[in-house]
Each structure stands twice: as structure tokens, then as C-alpha cells.
Structure 1
Amino acid sequence: MKIVSLGFRTDLMLLKMGGAVVTDHGTHLVVRTPANPGFHWGNFLLFEVPPQPGDAPRWSTLFEAEFPETQYRAFGVDGVAGLVGDTAEHQVLGVTAEVNTVLTADRLVSPVAAPHADVRVLTGDDDWRQALELHFACYGLPSGSDGRHFAERRVAGYRSLCEAGHGSWIGAFVEGRLRAGAGLFSDGSELARFQNVETHPDFRRRGLASAVIHHAAQRALLAPGIRKLVIVADPDDHAIRLYRALGFVDTERQVQLHRAG
């Protein structure tokens, strides 16, 4: 199966660099991340076309055969136009369609300098501990141990990618504390993908995220071969305006069908 979506191409690039196994069944891919079985978008099926009338039972059977212990459902739909397929099939599957915007750039506009911020690569245990704390500050502290362990595994995975030379995680530090951060990764192809642009709620609208994204982009574009930066955003989130202001342009729409379980 040839993937046309830049969103899913870069999703799979990141997942495979982190140890995911992708199996091609012709009309769909099975994506499995043994190191993080609770990560829904690391353990999912990717179809080449959206669901058509009568597809739901087959899709459900295929998912259950691959992930028999799970209650959630996660189906990616390849393509660039954001086609979600037959909504009656969504109801049978019990999924909700999420259509995100894939933005790209080959260079970025220099942002206004963020005052009193040290923008640099994360290094060492304390920096990465602060990255986990920033994540919790942005999204809340999970109520159970499973949620915390999931976040810890995700941050540890990003750190491993950085230390293996697949990219970097850039942070904006204010008085020694990490207040914004983002990762940018590539497998050596022409594409580099941003991950997890986060700003502490008390430090938003100060130019920190723009500074982090621009710094990461400048580093990546110095590497041989990298020609295109990719970032995926919720079209209704305010962050997409920030990305456009930096020079990203809307390129595709990416479809995910999900049921939390």
C-alpha cells in the first residue's frame, strides 16, 4: 500500500523510528508499537480509502483480530482531501471522525525575539524531567498511574529519538524553567515532522512557541536532504494561526476515525 498522505507518512516515519512494526495487507496497514501498547495512534489500522457502505463489520473484525484485548478503535484513512466516507458506517463502528490540517513549509519567517528566554536543545535528565512536567501543566496530571506511565513512555521515546540522532527537542527556558517546547524529527528523508508544540498556560502569547519552532526549523534545514517541514494541527485550535504566521501553508487534510473505548 502506497501512502499518499504527508500526515500519515510522517506519523509512520516517527513510529517506525521508535520501534513500531508496520505490516502491509494491500488494502490496509497494521501499525503496532510493542513498547507502548496503550498508545491508540501507535496501534491502529490505516486504510487506503474511507469506509464505504457495508465496510464497518469487516473493519471491526480486522481490528479485533489484530488487537483483541483492546476496547478502543482507531482507523486512519489515507488521502489528502479529508474524505471521511459513509457516516452511517461510523455509527456502526462507534467512531468519531477527526479531520486535521497538514501544513508544510520549506522555510520559516523569523519571529519577534522572545524576551528573557533561553531557547536551546534539551539535554540531560533535568531538562527531560521538565519536559514531562510541561506536558502535565498543559494537559493536566493523569488521575491514574496508567496515564502517567503512558506520558512517561512517550517522553522517554522522544528522548531516545533525539539521542539516536533523529532530531532534537527545543525548549524555551525562562529563569531556568522550561516554559515551551517542541520536537522535530526526520529519518534522513526530505521530510521533517514537528511533534508536541507545548507552552505552559501561564506563559502563552509571549512568543515562546514561535521561538521554539523557528529554532528547531533552522537546525533541521541545515541537515543534508531535509527540504520540507510538516506539522499537523486542529483547524479550530488557535495554534494553527501561529503556524501560518511563521510561514506554514495548508497542504492536506488528514482523517482519523476513533473510539476511546
Structure 2
Amino acid sequence: MSNVLPPGQRTDLGILRLQGAQVSDRGDHLVIRSPANPEFHWGNFVLVTTGDPEDADRWLTVFAAEFPQAGHVAIDLPSLPRTDRYAAHGVSLDTDTVLTSSAIPRQRPLAEGYIVRELVTDDDWERVVHRAVAENDVTGEQEPAGFERFSRDQAAARRALIATGNAAFFGVFAGGDLAAELGIVLLGDTARYQSVGTQAEHRRRGLAGHLLGVAARWAADRGATEWVIVTESTNPAARLYRSVGFADAAQTVQAYRTPGAEASYRRPHPVTG
């Protein structure tokens, strides 16, 4: 089933499988479980394939039966249904834009005063975690202690992908500061970007545009012929991606409900993590 999914969902599942997720085909939907990370909501979810996305009652029942202990609800839908059908259950709908390119994305020049290298050391990854935690402290979106645990687990999973040769993560540094970062995961001849992020004080200097090209060439050297990136539909970063060669390919829809007082961890996107 995953071979015929749109590129965003196809690459989501590819990465989750590399990280040990189990995918069960139920005919008109898939059930994805991540035993190693049960707190990861978008690693433990229902993906509707050919089922009717309007049937909120059915999908909420399916999710509850598959994940009876879950406090959250996470359902990936093939198209945008009527909002009220899910809102009646306290479930919100969000959309992402999936962009693809069959040519190596163009690389922006690197601004003066910065250096780029792969993230490989313990110190590098501690900086990644610190940046994520600091950003969450500013936004207050997640419960701090739980978010730090999640960030450390996420960093460990990504380092495991690097160790097997399936991924690379790159950082732009200014002195000792991590100014920007992103990752790329190789799935056969398809490369999927992960976690494009730039610290506020270093934005508007073309750093993300430079890293997009660096990662694209890493993947091309290893046989990639397709590049996929996903961002929230409201995120202006999509303009950058189009400017370096990406084109809109699909929209994905997520039905999500927070587990109340528990911290809610969203699916890692190329932009938001």
C-alpha cells in the first residue's frame, strides 16, 4: 500500500519504518505503531488511504480500538473533510503542503561569516536539543520537561539513521552557535528533508537555502533522483522551496486531538521538527 501513497505520506512511512515502526494494512487504512517511542503521537496513528475522510465517527472509533490506551487522537486523512464533523469531537484539522523536485534543488550562496558541516558529535547534537528546548521555552507550546525528553529521543533516533548511512544532518555555525540546521533521509532514490530551522537572529540571510542545496547534493551523490519536502500550508517557507526548484505536489490533512494535560508532540516536519 505505501508504494502507491502520495510522496509525503510515502516518505513519512519510509522514515518511520527505518526507525522501527510497524505498519499494518487494514484495507482502506493503515495502522502505524512505534514500539520504541509510544509517546510519539505521529508515530502511533491511523492513516486513511481509500476510506471516506468525512466519516469522523468511524475513524475515531477505529483509532480508539487500535490505541485503547492513547490519550491523543492522530489520524492522517487523504483529503480535507468538513471541519465540523471532527470539531464535534474536539478534533482539529491541519494541512501540510508537500513539494517535490526531480532535479537537484538550487543552492543559495553561503553568507559571509558562517561555516557548514555535518552534525556528528555529541556536542553537535546537544546544541540541536538545546536549540529546540530554548525555542519551546519561548513559545510555551509544550510542557518543558516532556518536550526535552522528546527532543533527546528524537535526536537519538536521527543519529541512528546517520550511523546506518540512511541520513545526514547539517548545521550552519556562526562561531560556536548553531544558526541553522536541517536533515535529509535517503529512501531508495527518494530523499526526504527533515527539520529545516533557523534561529531568529540568523534569519533572512539565505542559510536555509544554502543547506537545502548541500543536503540535496549529499543525496544525489548516493543515487537520489527525487527530493521531497513538507511544510505547514500556512508557512511562508514554501516560497523559499519553490524558488530553489520545488513544485507543489499534494496536500496532506491531519486530524489531531491533544491528550489534555499531557504534552502533545506533533509529527516532525521539515520545518517544525
Alignment TM-score > 0.5, same fold:
yes
> Which residues of structure 2 form unaligned runs of 5+?
260-273
Whole-Å separation in 2 of the counterparts to 1:173 and 1:52? 44
With over 3 angstroms needed to count, the CA separation of the structure-2 counterparts of 1:143 and 1:26, relative to structure 1, is closer
Query: What is the correspondence of 1:125-136 to structure 2 with a 5 Å cutoff?
Result: 125-136=122-133
- What is the TM-score when the length of structure 1 is the normalising length? 0.91
- For the 8 Å contact 2:32–2:46, the answer to whether it is kept is yes
With over 3 angstroms needed to count, the CA separation of the structure-2 counterparts of 1:138 and 1:197, relative to structure 1, is farther
With over 3 angstroms needed to count, the CA separation of the structure-2 counterparts of 1:137 and 1:246, relative to structure 1, is farther
- For residue 244 of structure 2, what is the aligned residue in structure 1? 246
- What is the TM-score when the length of structure 2 is the normalising length? 0.87
Whole-Å separation in 2 of the counterparts to 1:60 and 1:234? 23
Q: What is the Cα deviation at residue 93 of structure 1?
A: 3.7
Whole-Å separation in 2 of the counterparts to 1:249 and 1:138? 29
Q: Following superposition, which runs of at least 4 residues in structure 1 exceed 6 angstroms of deviation?
A: none
- For residue 66 of structure 2, what is the aligned residue in structure 1? 66
- For residue 236 of structure 1, what is the aligned residue in structure 2? 234
Q: What is the Cα deviation at residue 52 of structure 1?
A: 5.2
Whole-Å separation in 2 of the counterparts to 1:233 and 1:72? 22
- For the 8 Å contact 1:49–1:77, the answer to whether it is kept is no
With over 3 angstroms needed to count, the CA separation of the structure-2 counterparts of 1:64 and 1:259, relative to structure 1, is same
Query: What is the correspondence of 1:119-158 to structure 2 with a 5 Å cutoff?
Result: 119-140=116-137, 143-158=143-158
Residues 193-244 of structure 1: CA distance to partner in whole angstroms, max 9, x if unpaired?
A: 00110111111111211121111111111112x1111000122212111111
- For the 8 Å contact 1:134–1:199, the answer to whether it is kept is no
- For the 8 Å contact 1:56–1:92, the answer to whether it is kept is no
- For the 8 Å contact 1:114–1:208, the answer to whether it is kept is yes
- For the 8 Å contact 2:114–2:172, the answer to whether it is kept is yes
SS in 1 for 2:94: strand
User: 1:166 and 2:170 equivalent?
Assistant: no
- For residue 90 of structure 1, what is the aligned residue in structure 2? 86
Residues 74-101 of structure 1: CA distance to partner in whole angstroms, max 9, x if unpaired?
A: 11123xxxx2124343134432221111
Query: What is the correspondence of 1:1-261 to structure 2 with a 5 Å cutoff?
Result: 1-2=1-2, 3-49=4-50, 51=52, 55-78=55-78, 83-105=79-101, 106-140=103-137, 143-187=143-187, 189-224=188-223, 226-261=224-259
Whole-Å separation in 2 of the counterparts to 1:67 and 1:124? 37
The one-letter code sitting in structure 2 at the alignment partner of 1:257 is A
The one-letter code sitting in structure 1 at the alignment partner of 2:21 is A
Residues 17-54 of structure 1: CA distance to partner in whole angstroms, max 9, x if unpaired?
A: 0111111111111101111111111110001146455x
Percent identity over paired residues: 37
- For the 8 Å contact 2:107–2:214, the answer to whether it is kept is no
Whole-Å separation in 2 of the counterparts to 1:140 and 1:218? 34
Question: CA RMSD of the aligned region, Å?
Answer: 1.8
The one-letter code sitting in structure 1 at the alignment partner of 2:67 is F
* Count of residue pairs the alignment pairs up: 254
Whole-Å separation in 2 of the counterparts to 1:96 and 1:138? 24
